Amino acid sequence: MQQIQVEPFNNIPINFKEINASDFDGFIVEGNGKTVIKPTNGYISNSLLDNIDLYKSDTTIINASVGQGKTTAVIKFVERYYKNQNYIVVIATPFKSLIEQYESKIKKESGFDNIIFNYQDFENGLVNKQNFKSLHQKPIQLITINSLLGNSGDIALKQSDIKREYFESLINYAKDNGKKVILILDEIHESIHNFKESLIFNLFKWNSVIHKNIVLSATFNEASKVVIKYLAELTDKKIKIIESARQQVEEEKLSDLHLCIYDSYQYQANSPIFESLFIDEGKNFDKIHILSYSKRLAEDIHKSQLGKKLEDTFGEFNLCTSKNNKPFDEKICNIGTVFKTGISIEDKNCAYFIILPPKSAYSDIKNRRQLGIFFEGIFNVVQAVARPRIKANIYIIMPSPDKLIKVPELPENYIKATSLDYLPFDDENNHAKYYNINSQDSLLRFFYANLRENQESGEKFVDSNNISIVPVFPNYEKYKLTDGEKFYRSYYEIFGKNLSDYVYWAAWNNQFVNCRLKSIIKTSSLFISEGYVQNTLDKYYKSVFSASAFFNMHSDKDSLMKFRSSLFSNNIYFKSSDKDDYNFIGQYRNSYFEKQVISFIQRYKRPFNFDIKKIVYKPDGFEYIIENNRWKKKTPNDVDISKETYLRLAMLYSNEIDTIPQNLKDEEKNLISNYKRLFAYREILLKEYVILSKRRVEHLPIDKDINFKTEHQIELLTIIENIKKFDKNIQAFSFLQKSKDLVPIYKLLKDLFFKKTTITRISTDSDPEPIKVLKFELFDFPKKEEYINLVYSIDNAWLLQSGNIQWGQEDVIDEYSNDPFYGKY
């Protein structure tokens, strides 16, 4: 592993979803604004008590950061309520684990053991109609938000009768006995799905007894605002907003954050990368916890050889997932999926590992279910990162980011620093736009308006005809509730389209309240030997990208860039054939290796080029041979691309463009112009620099006699400098380092345009004495379609991919046998 120490930027404040009075048109917001409070020694519980009238009927919103004492404040609220005989406090949470925490803390604070009803008594068979009344008399009711809304889950069609009857009976008990119900909803962002239209009537059943709603979250989202409106209908539309600005915790509690780059299409439980991190890195700590995006991966690790090594190193490991219903155990190490929210990690000298989804989760929109516990996007990540409440080391294991989210007022060294000398962030195609999280509503409104406009003709038909079952297009609020969050994470990197992109941005820009980026760890190493580069790259591609449509979805240029980015997320060690040891290589530091990477992309993007196949799979270009009556795949040979081949292809692809498209990047436009001008020197040499013999045969000057015109000298030097400046891939070749010397440029032009040049002596009309000149033969350029385009990216990249155009071997092999590139690629 290579650990790169970094220093994050502090240019923008911590982003969070604000709740404002303007979000609630038609509602009565106290003070027509909000109360902003500041933490005292990092906590807000006392400030909340000072700013909330517990006995006033309204819907109170508490928008405060993780770890600031919201739960402590709720316990203090509860303590005041249960001492008053007129109240029933219903605390509804998204998770059963939170119910356990609330019960434990309330018992500890109150000293009483018989004042709480626990929702899990339903599952333990402790609730029946006969004991309803005695259970109702408990002033604190701990339930799930699912049960409050009557959500039966994905399997059952309706809530169980005993639960439904219990809640209806509790409402009647409160009504008959003059009890006021205080409804406290914690971590509301995790339960938005419960407030769909078919279930909201179960909430409104409480209308006659609800006195106050208290809604808490550290990560409110846009959909939360619709839920708040539903709740406020139960308190005569009255709303109070309390908000705490986000700021990082004090230095002694601030954890160190490490981003562990692990490019893999799928994760394997026994991965040596996991072992290096959990064991080798983890052994520096007394305890570790591993939060996995996937319960299957957590289970596989737990029962694997790695799991045994973890227990041998750290002692017992608690597997806690939604499948086995085991909660987080603060006494021992934990691995699982259930502690991304709702728990506090307070272990000293602790390492906390978060495994984000692998590359496969982002290869297709249909794969988003592979995001596991992070399916809802950035709010899940923010909550997960915030679990350590005292100083710890947090390791986020994730693929390389695809795009760099650019911040406002970009720091001068932002792109250079975040690129780490291997990520392609100096390319504008790999940038994503920054949006403030509080601009989400306007983005969604624009999208919704377009959707609605597309439905107009259908709606007019419904309005003008007597339809038996009248369909209704959802209004904006309902659409926001059901599909708003999906919209944000589907279209915007900053809102979680790719979690690696978001985490990389958030870490570099100091967006986590409990930790600061300290290092980036390149977790894996590749050992590659000369002569076996193509074989190694084949294996790497299959392990990282598997069966994804990676090359089908990207242009030639983008495929090379993205593949190189993934490749150099590893520490690469290369052994030359004449060396005994492997040596570390960085980007563009080894010409042989760089040319092999280009050749690899050529092989995969143009698999029908049999000229190249014959070099890779000698002697006939076929990948398989029969050995012992079985088909066996040949080991691919390395295939070298020459500088001249590369430049010819660049000129061919540039020369086909008459008018440069405006949607291309500036550097691509520049390259096209310069490669077109370079190609023009084929004709310039033939028209302006040939020497005619007395027999009228054309020849070229020998190197020392070339005397370019001043305008050609200037232009050639400019072309060469621009190519070196704007074409990164040219760094793979030895390319005119002393470009002010025109003789090497002339030699390059000869190599590019002429197949053969030999020195001869001729007499000319102006010089009867024989002079040395060059006999030449023009080079016939190949068909560019059979070679990759690394000059610019095209929109219809998929057209030239394997499988999209059908090529038969018999159609092409004879033609390619005469290709001048045969054997020279």
805-810 average pLDDT score: 32
Nearest Cα to 529, choosing from 571, 568, 577? Answer: 577
Q: Does residue 822 sit in helix, strand or coil?
A: coil
Query: In terms of residues, how long is the chain?
Result: 825
**What average pLDDT does the segment 212-223 reach?**
96
How far from 631 is each of 628, 808, 821, CA to CA, in Å?
8, 21, 30
Task: Give the model's confidence band at 244: pLDDT under 50 very low, under 70 low, under 90 confident, else very high.
Answer: very high
Q: Are 516 and 259 in contact (CB under 8 A)?
A: no
Query: Distance between CA atoms of 221 and 218, rounded to whole angstroms?
Result: 10
Min mean pLDDT across 323-327, 445-449, 600-604 is at 323-327
The closest alpha carbon to 167, from 205, 221, 220, 120, belongs to 205
Terminal-residue alpha carbon distance, the chain: 35
How would residue 810 be classed by pLDDT, with cut points 50, 70 and 90? very low
Whole-number pLDDT of residue 695 = 86
CB 321 within 8 A of CB 79: no
% the chain with pLDDT above 70? 94
**The domain defined by 21-244 carries CATH number 3.40.50.300:** yes
* pLDDT, position 818: 37
The larger pLDDT score, comparing residue 85 to residue 405, is at 405
Amino acid at 238: K
Q: What is the mean pLDDT of residues 549-577?
A: 87
Q: Residues 239-257, buried b or exposed e (16+ Cβ, 10 A)?
A: bbbbbbebebbeeebbbeb
Phi and psi for 712 in degrees, rounded to 5? -75, -40
- Give yes or no for a cis peptide into 619 (omega within 30° of 0): yes
pLDDT exceeds cutoff 70 at 796: no
Q: Above pLDDT 90, what percent of the chain?
A: 64
Regarding beta strands 691-692 and 393-398, do their DSSP bridges make them parallel or antiparallel, or are they unpaired? unpaired
- 333-339: average pLDDT: 96
Q: Cite the DSSP H helix spans in 700-808.
A: 710-726, 742-753
What pLDDT does 739 receive?
A: 61
- Using pLDDT thresholds of 50, 70 and 90, give the confidence band for residue 808: very low
| Residue 700 amino acid letter | L
Average pLDDT over residues 702-714: 93
Strands ordered across the beta sheet of 333-336:
2-5, 515-522, 255-261, 393-398, 350-355, 287-292, 333-336, 317-320
pLDDT of residue 110: 75
Average pLDDT over residues 325-334: 92
The Cα–Cα gap between 559 and 74 comes to: 53
CB hemisphere CA count around 476 (13 angstroms): 13
The reported pLDDT for the residue numbered 809 is: 32
Q: What is the pLDDT of residue 738?
A: 65
d(CA 701, CA 400): 52
| Bridge partner list, 632 | 625
Each residue's pLDDT tens digit, 340-397: 988 899 999 999 999 999 988 887 677 777 899 999 999 999 999 999 999 999 999 9
Distance of CA 43 to the CA centre of its chain: 32
Cα dihedral value 54, 58, 63, 69, nearest 10? 20
What is the rounded CA–CA span in Å between residue 475 and residue 448?
Answer: 9
Q: Does residue 78 surpass a pLDDT of 60? A: yes
Q: Which residue has the tokens 């008959």?
A: 176
The HSE-up count of residue 688 (CA atoms within 13 Å, CB side) is 13
More confident residue, 462 or 257: 257
pLDDT reported for residue 694: 86
- 397 forms bridges with which residues in the sheet? 260, 355
Q: Which CATH number fits domain 251-435+492-521: 1.20.950, 1.10.3470, 2.60.40, 3.40.50?
A: 3.40.50
Rounded mean pLDDT of 544-554?
A: 71
pLDDT at 548: 57
Report d(CA 14, CA 511) in Å as an integer. Answer: 5
Q: Report how far residue 504's alpha carbon sits from residue 415's, in angstroms, rounded to the nearest whole number.
A: 13
Lowest model confidence (mean pLDDT) among 198-207, 351-360, 623-632, 672-681? 623-632
Specify the long-range contacts of residues 267-272, CB closer than 8 Å, at least 24 apart.
267/294, 267/297, 267/355, 267/358, 269/297, 269/300, 269/301, 269/303, 269/304, 269/306, 269/307, 270/304, 270/305, 270/306, 271/306, 272/524
Quick one: tokens of 563?
């593949």
Structure confidence by residue, pLDDT tens digits, 170-198:
999 999 999 999 999 999 988 999 999 99
Report the pLDDT averaged over residues 734-747: 81
Assess contact for 433 and 406: CB atoms under 8 A. Answer: yes
Nearest to 364 by CA among 562, 497, 557: 497
Segments of the chain assigned to CATH 3.40.50.300? 21-244
Local structure of 87: helix, strand or coil: strand
Strand order in the sheet with 771-778: 691-692, 698-701, 771-778, 754-762
Which one-letter DSSP state was computed for residue 481?
I
Q: Is the pLDDT of residue 787 over 60?
A: yes
Q: Which of 569, 500, 558 is nearest to 728 (CA)?
A: 558
For the chain, what is the mean pLDDT? 89
CB 190 within 8 A of CB 341: yes
- Largest CA-CA distance found in the chain, in angstroms, rounded: 126
pLDDT at residue 435 tops 80: yes
Residue 756 near residue 820 (C-beta atoms within 8 A): no
Q: Which residue has the higher pLDDT, 694 or 140?
A: 140
Indicate whether 813 pLDDT > 70.
Answer: no
Which residues neighbour 546 within 8 Å (Cβ) at sequence distance 6 or greater? Answer: 265, 266, 360
Beta pairing partners, 5: 519
* pLDDT tens profile 626-641: 888 888 888 999 998 9
Bigger pLDDT: 565 vs 255: 255
Q: Write the burial class of residue 712 (CB in 10 Å: 0-12 exposed, 13-18 middle, 19+ buried).
A: middle
| Model confidence at 32: pLDDT above 50 | yes
What pLDDT is stored for residue 807 in this prediction?
Answer: 32
- Look at 664 and 500; give whichever has higher pLDDT: 500
Q: What is the pLDDT of residue 795?
A: 53
Distance in angstroms (rounded) separating the CA atoms of residues 762 and 471: 90
CB 434 within 8 A of CB 426: no
